[in-house]
């Protein structure tokens, strides 16, 4: 079914960002070999090098773009994608016809292939196999999978998982990961073919080797899109399918699984030992439990060991005390493990012990960043239920001191107001904490201080202005303050707007121009409140004269009536 374009120039700007979009405008004449299919659009763009671009439309995810330029390899919608998208938009009226033609070509090809005799098809396939080495290797693998020689299958599968042909610098970069992933996926297909051809016992052994081989190199692949992780999951699923068909020795299988689960290679595919319950039976599960308990006792702080112990205890319905023992063997310095224990105890109806563990978490916190937020929230919620408001305030106060933030300030304010202690020493002490950690800014810093945000959140604009004047505000905070005081103090707000207009005069780009127009509108509102519209008109005329070469800026100012 053919369809018109599902994206606009606005979509291209949103995906690429203003900078890449503007640069893409300069590459319209560099687009060649444009091919519009039913769902995908491909083209070549000549830049520093010749780059391949593909745009894909999907009803759920919308427009996506892929390019093999360095910036595109990082997963960005680059200027080359923009150029191809704009080129297509400029011939939008002919897109339905082009897509209809693509569908017709596909149907014509299918019809021609169906008309060929067996001998003609074989000749065509052999011709392609002679010209395409990768295709030949894949076909050889499929042939071996239904044949008798498992050695050939093993060799081919391991070669499909070999990263060396794709690792130009000893590492499979993003641009090459897709091609490697497509090749590696053939290994999963071959393993399933082995199982389907009644050679599941062979598939079990080959799947183990394949999984381990991929695990050894997984850390050397840029798997930003998760394609290789999907291959690893496929290998694990193929192994389970083979085990269910072959029913290998349960004890030996349990030993292999536990070794694998304790190894870092399992990070690439989340194998669950209990998915193998039917394969392992009671003997295999018993052996697995023995190995897991021994591993945990030898290394109680190991993440994999703890996770496996927890899975066994929960799956087999062990007592909560056994779970507490596992977690208590490795307590996090920020109290998060105490919270896990408290949650388990509370779920078991042991609320008193749960509260004790949570309070221990606060007392035993040794992290320089203070206790975990969720631990504090857990305790405060239970203090509130018990009407222990002073304890809620104390917990929130300590968290603000340990990790000052606007959120912590707000929580303390809410708790202290509920306790009736905010408007006095509590607020003054909280602001003093924020003042102590506020670092003076030069007016153009990247980050402002929590102090200014907290004062604005309190609607104490006079104090916030003073803190900003003392050097505790960044650009965002200055402009937010200016917006808040514009009506009562237009002259002060105007000075802020003008200060931040100046650096924008030296910058380019659609986003900058929109921001400049926004600030000019705010400045105009201040002049209107001051009754000095003529002064603003003079200022704006001078700015337009100075910036007249920026035609895009002039157009945006016109759009805003400036």
The pLDDT tens digits of the residues spanning 306-332 come to: 999 998 998 887 889 999 999 999 999
Task: Return the top range by mean pLDDT from 98-112, 264-278, 307-321, 518-532.
Answer: 518-532
Q: Which residue has the higher pLDDT, 70 or 466?
A: 466
Domain boundaries, the chain: 9-115, 331-437, 486-562
Res. 146 pLDDT band, cuts 50 70 90:
low
Element (H, E) at 56: strand 50-58
SS3 sequence of 251-316? HHHHHHHHHHHHCHHHHHCCCCHHHHHHHHHHHHHHHHHHHHHHHHHHCCCCHHHHHHHHHHHHHC
DSSP string, 232-269: HHHHHHHHHHHHHHH---HHHHHHHHHHHHHSGGGGGS
Q: Work out the pLDDT band at 442, boundaries 50, 70, 90.
A: very low
CATH number for region 331-437: 1.25.40
What are 6-19's pLDDT values in tens digits?
A: 888 999 999 998 88
- Would the pTM of this model clear 0.75, i.e. be above it? no
Residue 293 to residues 304, 316, 414, Cα–Cα distance (Å): 12, 14, 46
Percentage of the chain beyond pLDDT 90 is 49
Pick the range with the lowest mean pLDDT from 50-54, 119-123, 269-273: 269-273
Q: What is residue 350's three-state secondary structure?
A: coil
What order of strands is seen across the sheet that includes strand 62-67?
Answer: 31-36, 40-46, 50-58, 62-67
What pLDDT does 445 receive? Answer: 38
Of 152-156, 266-270, 521-525, minimum mean pLDDT range: 266-270
pLDDT tens digit sequence for 458-493: 999 999 999 999 888 888 999 999 999 998 999 999
How would residue 439 be classed by pLDDT, with cut points 50, 70 and 90?
A: low
Please name the residues in contact with 460: beta carbons below 8 A apart, sequence gap of 6 or more. none
The residue among 353, 273, 375 whose CA lies nearest residue 314 is 273
- Which residues make beta-bridge pairs with 51? 45
Least confident of 147-151, 332-336, 390-394: 147-151
Q: What rounded mean pLDDT belongs to the chain?
A: 88
Segment of 35-49, 140-154, 244-258 carrying the highest mean pLDDT: 244-258
pLDDT the model gives residue 264: 66
pLDDT for 369: 85
- Distance in angstroms (rounded) separating the CA atoms of residues 414 and 407: 11
pLDDT at residue 220 is higher than 70: yes
Average pLDDT over residues 544-557: 89
The residue to which tokens 């105490």 are assigned: 338
**Does residue 551 surpass a pLDDT of 80?**
yes
- Amino acid 141: pLDDT: 67
| pLDDT attached to residue 446 | 43
Summarised one tens digit per residue, pLDDT across range 333-382 is 999 999 999 999 999 999 999 999 999 999 998 888 889 999 999 999 99
pLDDT at residue 394 tops 90: yes
- State the pLDDT confidence band at 2, using cuts at 50, 70 and 90: very low
Distance CA 201, CA 99 (A): 48
In this structure, are residues 518 and 481 in contact, taking their beta carbons and an 8 Å threshold? no
């Amino acid at each position: 079914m053919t369809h018109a374009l599902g994206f606009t120039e606005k979509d291209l700007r949103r995906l690429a960002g203003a900078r890449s979009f503007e640069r893409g405008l300069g590459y319209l004449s560099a687009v060649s070999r444009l091919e519009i299919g039913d769902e995908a659009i491909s083209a070549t763009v000549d830049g520093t090098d010749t780059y391949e671009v593909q745009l894909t439309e999907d009803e759920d995810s919308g427009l996506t773009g892929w390019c093999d330029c360095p910036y595109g390899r990082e997963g960005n919608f680059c200027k080359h994608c923009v150029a191809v998208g704009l080129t297509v938009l400029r011939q939008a009226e002919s897109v339905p016809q082009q897509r209809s033609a693509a569908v017709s070509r596909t149907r014509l090809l299918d019809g021609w292939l169906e008309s060929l005799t067996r001998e003609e098809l074989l000749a065509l396939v052999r011709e392609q196999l002679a010209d395409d080495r990768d295709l030949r290797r894949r076909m050889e693998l499929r042939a071996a999978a239904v044949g008798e020689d498992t050695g050939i299958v093993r060799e081919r599968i391991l070669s499909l998982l070999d990263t060396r042909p794709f690792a130009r610098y000893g590492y499979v970069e993003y641009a090459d990961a897709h091609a490697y992933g497509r090749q590696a996926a053939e290994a999963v297909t071959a393993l399933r073919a082995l199982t389907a051809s009644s050679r599941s016992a062979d598939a079990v052994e080959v799947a183990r080797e394949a999984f381990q081989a991929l695990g050894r190199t997984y850390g050397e692949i840029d798997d930003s899109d998760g394609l290789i992780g999907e291959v690893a999951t496929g290998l694990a699923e193929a192994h389970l399918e083979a085990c269910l068909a072959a029913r290998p020795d349960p004890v030996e299988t349990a030993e292999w699984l536990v070794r694998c689960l304790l190894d870092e290679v399992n990070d690439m595919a989340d194998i669950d030992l209990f998915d193998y319950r039917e394969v392992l039976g009671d003997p295999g599960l018993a052996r697995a439990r023995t190995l897991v308990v021994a591993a945990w006792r030898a290394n109680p702080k190991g993440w994999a060991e703890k996770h496996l112990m927890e899975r066994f205890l929960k799956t087999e319905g062990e007592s909560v005390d056994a779970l507490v023992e596992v977690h208590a063997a490795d307590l996090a310095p920020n109290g998060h493990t105490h919270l896990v224990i408290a949650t388990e105890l509370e779920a078991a109806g042991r609320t008193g012990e749960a509260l004790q563990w949570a309070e221990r978490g606060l007392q035993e916190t040794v992290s320089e960043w203070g206790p975990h937020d969720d631990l504090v929230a857990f305790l405060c919620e239970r203090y509130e239920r018990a009407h222990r408001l002073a304890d809620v305030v104390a917990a929130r106060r300590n968290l603000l001191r340990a990790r000052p933030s606007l959120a912590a300030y707000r929580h303390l304010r809410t708790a202290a107001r509920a306790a009736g202690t905010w408007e006095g020493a509590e607020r003054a002490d909280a602001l003093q904490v924020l003042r102590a950690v506020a670092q003076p800014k030069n007016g153009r810093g990247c980050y402002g201080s929590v102090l200014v945000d907290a004062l604005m959140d309190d609607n104490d604009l006079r104090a916030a202005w003073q803190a900003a004047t003392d050097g505790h505000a960044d650009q965002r905070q200055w402009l937010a303050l200016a917006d808040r005081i514009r009506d009562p103090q237009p002259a002060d707000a105007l000075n802020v707007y003008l200060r931040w207009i100046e650096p924008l005069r030296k910058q380019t780009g659609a986003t900058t121009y929109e921001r400049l127009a926004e600030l000019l509108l705010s400045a105009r509102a201040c002049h209107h409140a001051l009754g000095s519209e003529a002064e603003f008109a003079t200022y704006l005329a001078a700015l337009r004269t100075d910036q007249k070469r920026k035609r895009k800026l002039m157009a945006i100012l016109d759009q805003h009536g400036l």
